[in-house]
Amino acid sequence: MSTALVNGRVLLDDGFRDDLVVLVEDGRIVDVLDGGDRRAHAATRVDLEGGYLVPGFIDVQVNGGGGVLFNNTPTVDGIAAIARAHRRFGVTGLLPTLISDRIEVMRAAVAAASEAIAQHAPGVLGIHLEGPYLAPARKGTHDAAVFRVPDAGEIELATSLRGGPTLLTLAPEQVPVEAIRAFVERGAIVAAGHTAGNYDEIRAGLDAGIRGFTHLYNAMSPLQGREPGAVGAALEDEGSWCGIIVDGVHVHPASLRVALAAKPRGKLFLVTDAMPMVGADDPSFTLYGETITAVDGVVRNAAGALAGSALDMITAVRNCVHLLGLPLDEAARMASRYPAEFLGIDHQRGRIAPGHVADLALLDADLAVRATWIAGNVEHHA
């Protein structure tokens, strides 16, 4: 049976339209119709009550949610719990993100993500391995004791996911250029992050196939007058994408506006870097044996380093509107279309268009999530 989503403000490539019907069948968007089209009347009609219908959000950096940290629970059930927790915030696709860890934990995480994808676990798209090929000087909350240089066997392991994209964050100055090229040749999307590299080292990584930057500004060498650093390389390079954490804590709004001005439109996208307290009542979790607690929504470890975030994606979208002054349509694209383009899955996700998977989110006038669809299956949210 076809379902017609009616009476909504539908986000298309050129902005919101309030005179259209989205026709869904067998988990995909069949067409976007004028309201008077007879196919809209033959289908089961769902009244969106004037809400904003946007592509479902895609988060490429999710360490945890619903009380679960991926590092501590690298299982199919753990991944599913994280995805369930983030769905209520509009996320219909995510990459469970493994913080730097031992090789046996990495092996379990990749296997679990492969199995979750094979089981069609709702919302699971691939995996993000954030480390362990990082710079001790920019480690953040990562454990430098597990940092290492990948050998051929580990390159094979890190790129062994089946059925979805692998995002790998590394410090270009810590990894031989040949290894970066090997990751890329084996299909990984490589991002620079947790790096103390200078401009030339970052530029060499870009030339070797690095596609983007993990949480721009955070845990990377800054832009300075005589040394552009990783930030300068990221802002200058027109072809690369940058994930940004828009929580008002990780990056000052003025710095975010600089990035928006410097990068071509579509090259900045939202990430949460979420930890287990997102979608959970407990503000604490354990990482590397240390208990970490969010205080006033800010997550820091005992050394004072930011340790991920308590941010959810719909809040990031609202912050783009209220802190940065972006229109809602562009803020929503930063959470959907642009990350889909970064992952190379924009032919299937990230837009409301015929042939795309019916991953959708319904927002009310206050920009709260009222419903989500994953492959056409709806879930309502209070």
Residue range 162-207, pLDDT digits in tens: 999 999 999 999 999 999 999 999 999 999 999 999 999 999 999 9
Instruction: Quote the CA–CA distance of 195 and 197 in Å, as a whole number.
Output: 5
pTM of the model: 0.97
For the chain, give every residue range classified as CATH 3.20.20.140: 55-343
Burial label for 332, CB within 10 Å (0-12, 13-18, 19+), is: buried
Using alpha carbons only, what angle is made at residue 197 by residues 191 and 199, rounded to the nearest 5 degrees? 90
Smallest Cα–Cα separation from 335: which of 277, 272, 276, 378?
272
Predicted pLDDT of residue 193: 98
User: Which superfamily is assigned to 55-343 in CATH?
Assistant: Metal-dependent hydrolases (3.20.20.140)
CATH number corresponding to 3-54+352-380: 2.30.40.10
Parts of the chain belonging to CATH 2.30.40.10 = 3-54+352-380
With a cut of 70, list the residues of the chain below it in pLDDT.
none
For the chain, percent of residues with pLDDT exceeding 90: 95
| Structure confidence by residue, pLDDT tens digits, 47-65 | 999 999 999 999 999 999 9
**How far from chain centre, in Å, is Cα 295?**
24
Catalytic-labelled residue, pool 101, 237, 273, 359: 273
Query: Catalytic residue at 273?
Result: yes
